[in-house]
Amino acid sequence: MSWIILIIAGMFEVGFTTCLKLSNNFTNLKWTLGFAACITLSFYFLNKATQSLPMGTAYAVWTGIGAVGTVIVGILYFDEPANFWRIFFIATLIGSILGLKFFAGSH
């Protein structure tokens, strides 16, 4: 269950980075409120996950989910580049996240 909570925390991280971009330097109230809600929920779920997962592993996976998700959102919605090397290194990051999940232990 802790890994599911950590994934939820990572998804809210993607939410707060996306809202941050859309908030237009915090001038758009709707996206600013979305940012505040997502960042609060992201840290709440990260805190919950670290109660039973190693802190270093949870933090690395959380930031990895956020980084990968944010790059994907950038490619799909903000016309950011999707060249070979960018995709290659995102795939490497995904492999690293999975490695932490399966080989780092969960106590």
HEC string of the chain equals: CHHHHHHHHHHHHHHHHHHHHHCCCCCCHHHHHHHHHHHHHHHHHHHHHCCCCCHHHHHHHHHHHHHHHHHHHHHHHCCCCCCHHHHHHHHHHHHHHHHHHHHCCCC
**Residue 88, number of CB atoms within 10 A of its CB:** 10
Tell me the domain boundaries of the chain.
Answer: 1-104
- 18 vs 98, residue with greater confidence: 18
For 39-73, write each residue's pLDDT tens digit.
Answer: 999 999 999 999 999 998 899 999 999 999 999 99
Tell me the whole-structure pTM to 2 decimals.
0.87
Q: Please report, to the nearest 10 degrees, the dihedral formed by the alpha carbons of residues 73, 76, 79, 81 taken in order.
A: 80
For 65-99, write each residue's pLDDT tens digit.
Answer: 999 999 999 999 999 999 999 999 999 999 988 88
